[in-house]
Structure formats: C-alpha cells, structure tokens
Amino acid sequence: MPLSPQLTSQFVRLRSLIALVLMTVALSLLSPNFLTADNGINILRQVSINMCLSIGMTLVILSGGIDLSVGSILGFAGAIAAGLVKNGLSIPGTDLHLQFTTSGAILAAVFVGALLGLHNGVAITRFRLPPFIATLGMLSIARGLAFLWTGGFPITGLGADFGFIGTGAWLGVPMPVWIMVAFAILFFVVTKRTRFGRHLYAVGGNECAARLTGLSVSRIKIAVYTLAGALAGVAGLIVTARLDSAQPNAGLSYELDAIAAVVIGGTSLSGGRGTIFGTVLGCLIIGVLNNGLFLLNVPPMLQYVIKGYVILIAVAIDQASAPRNRDSS
Amino acid sequence: MTSLLASNDGLLEATGITKTFPGVRALDDVSLRVRAGRLLALLGENGAGKSTLMNVLSGVFPPDAGTITLGRGKSVNFANPRAAQDHGIGIVHQELNLVPGLTIAENIWLGREPRTSAGFIDYRRLNADTAAILARLDLKISPVTLVGDLRVGQQQLVEIGKALSANARVLILDEPTSSLSAHEVEVLFNVIAELKKQDVGLVYITHKFEELARLCDDVVIMRDGRVVGEMPYEGLTRERIIQLMAGRESKDVFQKSAFEPGAELLKVENVSLTGSASGSAGRRLLVNNVSLTLRRREVLGIFGLVGAGRTELLETIFGLHPRRTSGNISVCGKPASFRSPADAIRAGLALAPEDRKRDGLILPMSVAANASLASLRRTLRGGFVSRRKESDYLIPYVDRFRVKTPSLDQLIVNLSGGNQQKVILAKWLATDPKILLLDEPTRGIDVNAKREIYAFIDELARNGLGLIVVSSELPEVLALSDRILVMCEGRKTAEFTRAEATPERVLHAALPDRAALAS
C-alpha cells in the first residue's frame, strides 16, 4: 500500500472502527429491526458480560500472557454471590452462621475472583508456570469449586435487590451497560495514563528490558491476573443477577469469546501492543455480528462458522500490516 | 577428484570480497586462498570481520562485491548454506546449531537422512554411519543419545561430526575448542591432521595462539574488515601477531580530555558469579573474583574478548543475579547489596545493555515512552502520567543527545541504531545517576554517531559521573578510558592506567595463555 507511515498507522488504528461502522450500515439496510434504540440497548446488554472479561483479558494479553480461567472464575464467583445472598455462610465445625447483605455478597464474589486471579499470578511468577498451563489448571479448579459449592444444582431465587445488578436500569439504560461502561473508562485511563499502565506495556513489549529498567515484573504480572480474576467476578455477578440463578456451569468457554474480542480489537497475542478501546470495538463487533446474524435468520450452526472466519480474517489483516522487525543486523 | 586437485592445490579462492551492513563496512576488498592439505589460521580481534568472511564463504549471506571460485576457476554464487554444502564447503559455527530433542544421529544427518525403499528413515544405516563418525572423534557414546543430554564440549564435537559427515573439501572451524576439554582438543587435533592428509583444506579461527604451533601452515590476520597480513606460520611469533592484530593508531578515533578524578563512587571487591545452568557447566564461574574501583569524573574501560565475562560483571554489579553472586559492593563508601536492578537504580546506578533490541528497548513503544520509563514518577500530575509534563522534561535530554526523530511519539523501532542508543542514554540520565555502566555502547552504530557518543561519555565524566565502559573494540577502550581493566575467562588479568596502556599490552592480557588452557 503506497500510504505514508502516519496514514497507514492511522488506518490500522481505525480499522476495527471502520469494520464496525460498515457492519452497522449493512445490517441497517438488510434488516428493518436492526437500527432501533431497543435493539441497540439489547446489543449492549448482551456484550456487557464479554466486555468485563475482555477488559481483564486485554490487560493479561498486553502483559504477554493469556488467561483461560476467566469463564470458570465467572461461574464460581456467581455461585458464591448467590449462595451467600440466599443461604449465608456456615463455618464448618462451629455454630457460626454468617448472614450476608447483598453488597456484602457482591464484594465477596469479586474478592473470590481476585483471589483466584492472584493464584494464577503467583503460579506464573513464583512457580514459573507458563500462563497457558497455570490458567488451564485454574479453568478446572474454579469449575470444580463451583460444583462443590453448589452441589451441582443451580441456586435460584436471589431477591430483587441482587437482581437489580442484572435487570435494573437507570436513566433507561440497563445496569450491566453502566457497569461495562464504567470499567471500560476506568481501564482505558489506567492503561493510558498511569504508571501501572506504562509498566504493563513495557513488560509485555520486552520483559528483559523492563526488568533492567528496574520494574518489578512479577508484581505487575500478579496485579494483572488478579484484576482479570476480579473482573471475571464482576461478570459472574451480572450473569447470575440477570438469570436470578447461579448455574455451576455458567461461563463455560466464555474465555474464548474474550480472547476473540481482544484479538479482533487488534491487540497482539505476543504482548505489548493493543488498547482497551480496540477491545471495546472487538466486543461490539462480535455483539453486532451475533445480533445481525440472528435478525437475518441465519441458522445457528452457520453463525459459528461465520464468527470463526471473522476472527481468522481480522487477525490475518493484522498480521499483513504489522511492522515486521525481523533482525536486519 | 584427487587428480584434478593434484594439478592445482587451490581449493577455494575468494577475491575482492566486500560486505557492508547499515553503517558498517564489515569486509573491505578481502582476498583469501584455501589450499588442499593445509590449515589456514584466521586471526583478528572481535569485530575484525572474521566471522562475516566465513559467513560469506559458507553461503549464509552473499557478498556485495567479489568472487568466490572453487577448484579450477569455477566462479560460484551460494544462494544459501545448503548450496555451499553441496559444493563441498562445511562450517562449524562458534555457536551450536543442534536440536536438543533429537539424537546425535538425527542431528548429524538432519535434512539428509538415508531412506529405506519404502520412504521411511533408514535408522539402521543412520546409526551405523553415525557410530563410525563418533569413533573417529573418540566419542564413546551411543548414536541414539539425545543431544540435549550431552555436555557442551561433546555437543561441539557432534557439530564437528556433522561437518565431517558431509565429506567437505573445505572445512571452516570457528573457535572449535572454546568449550572442549584437553582430551577432546587432542582428539580434534588428530582429526584435523588426518583431514590434512586427505587433502582437505581447513580454515581455523582461534584466539588461542598456542594451538597454532600444532596445526597451522598459513596465517591471515584481519583488522577492521581488511586483511593486514598473509604469511606462512613458520617463524612467526606471538608478539608479531599481536602487533599486526592491534597495530593501529587510536589517536584519530577521539581525543579525550583529562580531569582530576574525584571521590570514590563504587568499590567492587572479590565479586564472583556462578553459571545458571545445572551440571558441570553451571558450576563454572562466569565472573571469577573481580575487584575494581570507580571514582567521580572517571571512565573505567573494561576490555576482553567475547565470553570474557564483561557483560556478566556489569549485570552482577547491577543486581541482576543476586542469588548467584558473591563478594562485596559499596557505593559512595556505603555497603550495598542489590536484590534487583531496582535497588541498584535507587542507589544511583544505570546500565545500558549490550544488546539494545533484546535487553534495552521496548520495541512496540514510542520514543517518549521508552525514554521516560525509568523515571515515570516525574511525569505524574495528580497521580496520572501527563503527556505534556513527560515531553517537557524529556525534551532537554533528547536535545542534549541530539536524537534525530520526527517526534517523541515516533515508534522507537523506526530510529537508527545510533539514535536508539541516544534514547537509552537519555532514559538513564533522566534518573540522575551517579554511576553509568555502558556495555558496548557503540555496537552496530555508524561512525558519526559513534563520535557523538564518545563526546557524551567525555562530557558526562566532566560533569561528575563515574562511567564503566565495556567494549571489545581496542581503539575505543584506549581512547575513552582513564584506566583499563582487562578480563579473560571471567578473571581480571590486568589493569592499566591510561599512560601504561598500549594496544599490545592490553591485547596480550586479554588472550588466554597456555596455563589457562591446560587447566
């Protein structure tokens, strides 16, 4: 492409946005039901869960890692919240029985998510497990804990207070959308404007150089996995509250949708390159695609095939335009 | 084949070979003749162009100009190493190119495996052929041993076996004995003698001159990408060789200013670093009991060949290997025990590493983000990184080092090597260091940027910093340093004041001697 470097990089940055706009225009022409306020809100509500996971996943991938456990952590954290709200907590071996308020249960769920994320971070840094393996283990551990905690049965009937997180609305906008927007803005600022954000890019961009610059690589990685776990906890709350039920197998394979959104948003799996904004677009592209294919009555089996090719094409385009810095020396 | 060669003993002739890398003329009109049944020793400092020349001869990359002819004036162009191999040119590189998860036999015949009529690998023949080669090398190991389970010396022999298996007419050996035991060296020398009898022509790169007496027929000495001497080995002395290798005026490089050194900044006493690998290689000392001092307004040069432990010494001082380090370090008279580079930076140290791309730069980040990374605290406004504050405080440093970049937002990867190095200097100066450790600060940098960096080093010393400059370029060390510390095989072998240091004396101290070889 005979474009100037500035123009090219501008184009690369906006590519996901252009794709999203084109999809929106096309679907508006194809389906009268697509471009309505209701459908817009609907799409946003549907993407909110994946958005929470994808934001955490972006941090992890920027640091040069991967997190396969967020779907399982989502399931376990949701079950924790539901169990605490409904039954409270009996401490085994004592007569103690703790009752939880709704906000107490919410905090506990996020805390448990963060704790399992911390577990990932420690396994990766202190015990030097590859992120893929450490979080693959956690994928199974957290899912198992969810089944143990629930005894394998859904916990239902959680009350209107708790349900508000999932089904409530403020100013006509559903709560999950507010939560998603808040976290997107928060982590947009964290990655762009804080020392932690810079350090995160540095660790993912070149771990050796980051260490020689005096950054505590381990501490940064542990923080990243802990945040990803906490955000999975938040996603678990939304899922549980929306359904008024905690399913022990909630969030099954959600980590793959999150990775897809991050990658479609232009974040490099090798770390150090990518943005939260890109991930937001990636989530929206997946959401619009799901919604559009449904409105157009595309058979569900075919939808999977189409989504798969969207991921492949998005990354293929990224690869083709990525700066090649093969060793020239 | 022998009848053809008997009439003309020139196996390979390279004429007028020139090769330029961005900013560096690595080879300048080099000619070389490899003759049947003779061993040609190729000598020169690090960076003299020896390895580049061997890479050209073995097809790793093509020359910009010049011709290579084989046998009777057949001119050849090698598209790749395989093409050179097919023309009978074998090379044993200094670094090992083996697959640890495959057996010795599979490694030796990789890509050339004998096959059965059904198309499968003929393992019986593969292993039998390998056993024959191993016997030649006096390696009493089964051909089906995994290469990863071998000692480094044995791996090097396997690499040599791989070259033998191709029945090369010309065999290039790049420092083949660097990790061999005394017995293994003996075996290799016998193999070389045997190859000479079979009229194979050998090119042998080494820094161990005492090996030459056993093997060598002819000598070629290189310096700065040129051949500066070509002669029979007979009657040549170590002193004469060193003179030719070094023999260059360092005056024209850079004129250093002289200042009175100030108070002591850094004292390093009996520092050692053990290897990280398990097994016998891990117990080797990479840095062996080194002591040094550094004062304000002083430049301490550290010279040594590649592998002498210079980089490891800097890393040890900088707190990168706390668990494998012993000895005492004090900064400004206060004992320091650095658990990490962060501790060292807090104490006023800074390290610009040797391999910029691998250890120095965050390639996907901008010039500004790279430059501010070590001192991000100063860019904060209300807890957030302020882009304006960042560029306000970076601009003086970027200007001071005359970094040529269209903007601070430019990706660092788009800058030239010299400008990247200046960004790294700016990054460290922004932390206000007292002691600057520079590892090969001018590697891969063009001549003009080199001069600028020399001038900065001088200026920084004048402003009161203490600097340690590691370099494998002799004239650079001689020109920059107030004092020169020489290392060889992890040890400090000599220390010279500026007045005492001559190229010959420094180089002499950097080369391993006979006593070290025997141990």
Query: What confidence tens digit (pLDDT) does each residue in A171-194 have?
Result: 989 999 999 999 999 999 999 999
Per the model's pLDDT, the better-predicted residue between A60 and B179 turns out to be A60
Q: How many domains does chain A have?
A: 1
Query: What is the C-alpha separation between A78 and A85, in angstroms, rounded?
Result: 11
Give the SS3 label for residue B488: strand
Which residue blocks in chain A are alpha helix, DSSP H? 5-30, 37-62, 70-87, 102-125, 131-150, 160-167, 175-193, 195-205, 207-212, 217-243, 254-264, 276-295, 300-321
Tokens, residue B339: 């658990």
Confidence bin at B85 (pLDDT 50/70/90): confident
Largest CA distance in chain B: 85
- Report CB contact under 8 Å: A193, B22: no
Specify if A50 maps to a domain.
yes
Residue of A nearest to B22 (CA): A329
* pLDDT over 50 at B170, yes or no: yes
Q: Looking at residue B161, what is its pLDDT?
A: 92
A6 lies within 8 A of chain B by CB? no
Collapse the DSSP code of B439 into the 3-class scheme (helix H, G, I; strand E, B; otherwise coil) and give the result.
Answer: strand
Question: Which pTM does this prediction carry?
Answer: 0.82
Residue A328 has a pLDDT of: 34
* Torsion angles phi and psi, residue B285, rounded to 5: -90, 120
Residue among B204, B91, B96, B212 at smallest CA distance from B154: B96
- Selected residue with higher pLDDT from B410 and B258: B410
- The stretch B352-375 carries a mean pLDDT of 92
Domain total of chain B: 3
Cα separation, A99 vs B246, whole angstroms: 83
Q: Which residue of A has its CA nearest to B338?
A: A214
Per-residue tokens: B348: 């006023």
- Round to whole Å and give the CA distance between A251 and A257: 10
Q: Which residues of B fall below an 8 Å CB-CB distance to A?
A: 21-22, 318, 320, 340-342, 344-346, 351, 353, 357-365, 369, 372-374, 376-377, 380, 383-385, 411, 413-414, 427, 444
pLDDT at B515: 45
CATH of the domain at A282: 1.10.3470
Residue where a domain stops, chosen among B398, B416, B432: B432
Residue B298 pLDDT grade (very low, low, confident, very high; cuts 50, 70, 90): very high
Residue A266: its chain B contacts at CB < 8 A?
Answer: none
* Domain hosting residue A41, numbered range: 15-318
Across residues B245-269, what is the average pLDDT? 76
Tell me the average pLDDT of chain A. 91
pLDDT of residue B237: 83
b/e sequence B467-485, b meaning 16+ C-beta within 10 Å: bbbbbbbbbbbbbbbbbbb
B167 and B87 inside one domain:
yes
> What residues of B are in contact with residue A5 (Cβ under 8 Å)?
414
pLDDT recorded at residue A11: 65
> Which residue carries 């929106």 as its tokens?
A24
CB contact under 8 A, A208 and B413: no
Token code pair at residue A91 = 């401490």
> Does the residue B170 lie in any domain?
yes
pLDDT at B1: 38
Q: Is the pLDDT of residue B2 over 50?
A: no
Placement of tokens 């976290």 in the chain: A183
Last residue of some domain: B194, B220, B246?
A: B246
CB contacts < 8 A, A to B, total: 87
Give residue A9's pLDDT: 58
Same domain, B448 and B423: no
Residue B14: is its pLDDT beyond 60? yes
Q: Around Cβ A21, how many Cβ atoms within 10 Å? A: 11
Are B91 and B144 found together in one domain? yes
CA distances from B403 to B69, B354, B421 (A): 45, 19, 9
Instruction: Give the Cα separation of B284 and B270 in Å (integer).
Output: 16
Distance between CA atoms of B200 and A16, rounded to whole angstroms?
61
DSSP at B433: -
* Res B253: pLDDT: 59
Per-residue pLDDT reduced to its tens digit, B16-30: 999 987 666 789 999
Radius of gyration of chain A (CA): 21
Mean pLDDT of A69-74: 98
Touching check for A323 and chain B: CB below 8 Å?
A: yes
Q: What is the distance between the alpha carbons of residues A306 and A293, in angstroms, rounded to a whole number? A: 9
N residues, chain B:
519
Predicted confidence band of residue B402 (pLDDT cuts 50, 70, 90):
confident
Query: A112 to chain B, minimum CA–CA distance in Å?
Result: 28
The pLDDT of B306-320, averaged and rounded, is: 91
Question: Exposure string (b/e) for A171-207, b if CB count within 10 Å is 16 or more?
Answer: eeebbbbbbbeebbeebbebbbbbbbbbbbbbbbbbb
The answer on B119 and B160 residing in a single domain is: yes
Q: Flag the least confident range among A184-193, B249-258, B314-323.
A: B249-258
pLDDT for B8 equals: 57
Q: Are residues B422 and B470 in the same domain?
A: no
pLDDT beyond 50 at B40:
yes
Return the residue of B nearest to A216 by Cα. Answer: B342
Chain centroid to Cα A290, Å, comes to 17
Residue B3: band (very low, low, confident or very high) from pLDDT cuts 50, 70, 90: very low
Token pair belonging to B45: 């400092």
Instruction: Look at A214 and B22 and tell me if their CB atoms are within 8 Å.
Output: no
- Structure confidence at residue B130 as a pLDDT band (50, 70, 90): very high
> A141-145, B174-178, B289-293 — which is least confidently predicted?
B174-178
| Residues B340, B444 within the same domain | yes
Q: How far is CA B495 from CA B133, B208, B253, B481, B506, in A?
A: 45, 21, 22, 12, 9
| CB contact (8 A) between residue B380 and residue A195 | yes
- Measure the CA–CA gap between A217 and A224, rounded to whole angstroms: 11
Exposed / middle / buried, residue B309 (Cβ in 10 Å: 0-12, 13-18, 19+): buried
pLDDT, position B403? 87
* Most B CBs within 10 Å, among A212, A215, A267, A269, to test the B interface: A212
Render pLDDT for B380-400 as a digit per residue (tens, 0 to 9): 998 899 999 999 989 988 888
Residues from chain B that touch A202, judged by Cβ atoms under 8 A, are 362, 365, 369, 373
CATH code (residue B300): 3.40.50.300
Written as six digits, the tokens of A153 are 């049965």
Note whether B411 and B438 are same-domain residues: no
If asked whether residues B398 and B483 sit together in one domain, one would say no
Do B53 and B189 have their domain in common? yes
* Interface contact A325-B376, CB threshold 8 A: no
Which of B412, B432, B452 is a domain's end point? B432
| Domain range enclosing B408 | 358-432
Q: Do you know the residue count of chain A?
A: 329
Asked whether residue B450 falls in the same domain as residue B424, the answer is no
B135 within domain boundaries: yes
Q: Judge whether B353 lies within some domain.
A: no
Which residues between 175 and 214 in chain A have a beta carbon less than 8 angstroms from any beta carbon of chain B? 189, 192-195, 197-199, 201-202, 205-206, 208-214
Question: What are the two backbone dihedrals, phi and then psi, of residue B395, each rounded to the nearest 5 degrees?
Answer: -55, -45
Residue in B315, B317, B376, B414 to test binding to A, most A beta-carbons within 10 Å: B376
Pairing assessment for the beta strands B89-92 and A245-246 based on DSSP bridges: unpaired
Q: Which residues of A284-294 are buried (b: 16+ CB within 10 A; e: fewer)?
A: bbbbbbbbbbe
Express as a percent the part of chain B with pLDDT over 90.
Answer: 47
Asked if residue A7 belongs to a domain, the reply is no
- Does residue B166 form part of some domain? yes
Please check whether residue A250 lies inside any domain of the structure. Answer: yes
Residue in B320, B345, B311, B303 with CA at minimum distance from that of residue B433: B345
Judgement on whether residues B88 and B8 belong to the same structural domain of the protein: yes
| Residue B323 and residue B194 in one domain | no
